């Protein structure tokens, strides 16, 4: 098992997808955020494993995942830098172990872990085993985890033994006692409880077929929306108190959402995406793991924020794109952090205020998450989200702006873009396109509530002087 302790750049030729035939190859429709050279995801259900395998085939020694340096202090596991080849091997072993659980194909399998390399490997393994990953935030308490497990009808959950003073594996054991269909709990050590499958032992005992990674169709994944919440003052926002609502997203929809993020992010193969977001929802997964695999970049996650650890990571001579919660902008603006980055992405969770952002910052990207439905991204020096939300037609070239004139009830029927936006007569924002195709799960069955393709959200944009200053609940 190859593992390296430090991040390095791969000097081999970069793995790049072929560019479109010409400017017209990438469609621009009303409210569509696209860019010449952007790779539109293929129609086939290519999963995350296929993306990992594609880079591992060309650049096996390139670094795929890097752990936070302080990881041993908060989970008792070593911090490791994983190459793409090593990651593929471990994913194959974990997938082989999961297949021995004899779960029905496409079973919902939870994943309740902090943002560390083992979490990414476990997610890829669940997909490779033919199951549907269901992302459970490791910070949720027992009651909320029980609500989510019941709503998605989860049959098994990989987790971890230690997270600071918390014991996630023990918490999931109590959830399993309250929900009988949850048959298996597995965990990375240390402190794996009795009766819980040790994933470290699975890695040692099994030999999977690494060459088969990503060759089968991906079953998609489930994340959980939390209705409710309101824009608050500066600082971390508390999670809404509503019951988790499972949302099913196919593999190509997740890839499309990540591609929409890569347009303003402009991450290149071999560069680094450093994320401060948990990888347990659309905004964390699309800007983190999926974006890194799609770009062939290195992913480094810092689930426990430490200023010294972040500063040390930024000192490394690797072009870096930082993904951070929007409430950190005021603090970062008083430091040297923005000047040490190639791109700085501030992620907002609707409802939120947009008027407090600092104007005119080059290399700054805003990403706004509308529950688990859509993720809208734009650079502040071009395609700013406040302008797009105020007038979605501004994202389209002149011919298509004419097609979506006021006398038309909806934009032109062209749907080849990643995401389209519409402001309904009552002010609500609606989304359509490959990047925002998600369906609610009810008793394990997907519910298609949008036969016309448009998903109406519970949000509206507050406008002032032609720009959106806030996103509020309608």
User: How many C-beta atoms lie closer than 10 Å to residue 367's C-beta?
Assistant: 24
Nearest to 259 by CA among 217, 221, 295: 295
Side-by-side strand order, sheet with 352-353:
352-353, 467-473, 455-464, 428-432, 420-423
CA torsion sign for 124, 164, 276, 9 is negative
Nearest to 349 by CA among 331, 376, 378, 329: 376
* Residue that has been written with the tokens 């709503």 in this structure: 151
User: How many C-beta atoms lie closer than 10 Å to residue 239's C-beta?
Assistant: 15
Strands 197-198 and 221-225: unpaired
Nearest to 175 by CA among 207, 140, 226, 202: 140
CA torsion sign for 353, 313, 60, 197 is negative
Helix, strand or coil, per DSSP, at residue 49: helix
**What pLDDT tens digit does each residue of the chain (474 aa) get?**
333 333 333 333 333 333 333 323 333 223 434 343 344 444 456 799 999 999 999 999 999 999 999 999 999 999 999 999 999 999 999 999 999 999 999 999 999 999 999 999 999 999 999 999 999 999 999 999 999 999 999 999 999 999 999 999 999 999 999 999 999 999 999 999 999 999 999 999 999 999 999 988 899 999 999 886 655 555 566 777 778 999 999 999 999 999 999 999 999 999 999 999 999 999 999 999 999 999 999 999 999 999 999 999 999 999 999 999 999 998 998 888 888 899 999 999 999 999 888 876 778 999 999 999 999 999 997 789 999 999 887 655 444 444 444 443 344 333 348 999 998 888 899 999 999 999 998 877 777 777 678 999 999 999 998 899 999 998
Question: For residues 216-229, b (16+ Cβ closer than 10 Å) or e, as one string?
Answer: ebbbbbbbbbbeeb
Question: For residues 66-75, b (16+ Cβ closer than 10 Å) or e, as one string?
Answer: bbbbebeebb
**Domains plus CATH for the chain?**
60-219 (3.40.50.980), 265-473 (3.40.50.12780)
Tokens of 243: 């019951």
Question: Which bin fits 371, alpha (ψ -120 to 50), beta or left (φ > 0)?
Answer: left
Q: What phi, psi does 26 have (nearest 5°)?
A: -105, 115
Greatest pairwise CA separation for the chain in angstroms: 66
**Length of the chain (residues):** 474
Tokens of 325: 């919660």
Q: Are 108 and 154 in contact (CB under 8 A)?
A: yes
User: How many C-beta atoms lie closer than 10 Å to residue 410's C-beta?
Assistant: 14
Q: Are 91 and 2 in contact (CB under 8 A)?
A: no
Interatomic CA distance for residues 63 and 355, integer angstroms: 38
Q: Give the global pTM.
A: 0.86
Interatomic CA distance for residues 267 and 272, integer angstroms: 8
User: How many C-beta atoms lie closer than 10 Å to residue 233's C-beta?
Assistant: 8
């Amino acid at each position: 098992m190859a593992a390296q302790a430090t991040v390095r750049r791969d000097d081999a030729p970069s793995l790049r997808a072929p560019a479109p035939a010409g400017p017209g190859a990438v469609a621009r429709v009303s409210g569509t955020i696209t860019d010449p050279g952007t790779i539109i995801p293929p129609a086939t259900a290519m999963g995350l494993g296929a993306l990992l395998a594609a880079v591992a085939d060309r650049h096996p020694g390139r670094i795929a995942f890097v752990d936070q340096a302080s990881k041993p202090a908060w989970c008792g596991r070593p911090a490791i830098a994983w190459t793409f080849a090593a990651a593929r091997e471990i994913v194959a072993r974990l997938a082989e172990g999961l297949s021995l659980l004899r779960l029905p194909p496409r079973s919902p399998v939870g994943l309740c872990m902090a943002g560390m390399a083992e979490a990414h490997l476990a997610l890829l393994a669940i997909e490779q085993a033919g199951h549907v990953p269901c992302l459970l935030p490791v910070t949720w308490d027992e009651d909320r985890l029980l609500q989510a497990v019941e709503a998605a009808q989860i049959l098994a959950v990989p987790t971890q033994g230690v997270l600071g003073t918390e014991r996630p594996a023990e918490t999931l054991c109590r959830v399993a006692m309250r929900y009988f269909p949850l048959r298996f709990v597995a965990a990375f050590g240390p402190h794996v409880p009795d009766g819980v499958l040790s994933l470290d032992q699975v890695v040692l005992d099994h030999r999977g077929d690494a060459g088969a990674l990503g060759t089968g169709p991906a079953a998609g994944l489930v994340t959980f929306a939390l209705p409710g919440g309101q824009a608050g003052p500066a600082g971390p926002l508390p999670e809404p108190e509503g019951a988790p609502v499972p949302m099913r997203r196919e593999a190509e929809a997740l890839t499309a959402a990540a591609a929409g993020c890569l347009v303003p992010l402009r991450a290149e193969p071999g560069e680094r995406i450093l994320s401060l977001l948990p990888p347990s929802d659309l905004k964390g997964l699309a800007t983190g793991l999926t974006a890194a695999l799609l770009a062939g970049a290195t992913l480094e996650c810092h689930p426990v924020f430490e200023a010294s650890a972040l500063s040390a990571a930024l000192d490394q001579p690797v072009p870096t794109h930082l993904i951070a919660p929007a409430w950190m902008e005021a603090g970062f603006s008083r430091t040297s952090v923005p000047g040490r980055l190639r791109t700085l992405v501030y992620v907002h969770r609707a409802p939120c205020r947009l008027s407090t952002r600092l104007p005119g910052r080059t290399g700054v990207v805003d990403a706004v998450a509308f529950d688990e439905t859509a993720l809208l991204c734009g650079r502040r020096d071009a395609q700013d989200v406040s302008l797009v939300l105020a007038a979605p037609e501004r994202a389209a070239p002149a011919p298509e702006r004419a097609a979506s004139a006021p006398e038309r009830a909806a934009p032109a029927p062209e749907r080849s873009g990643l995401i389209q936006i519409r402001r309904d007569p009552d002010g609500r924002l609606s989304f359509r396109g490959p990047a925002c195709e998600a369906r609610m799960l009810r008793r394990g069955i997907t519910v298609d509530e949008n036969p016309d393709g448009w998903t109406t959200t519970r949000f509206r944009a507050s406008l002032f002087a032609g720009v959106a200053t806030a996103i509020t609940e309608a």
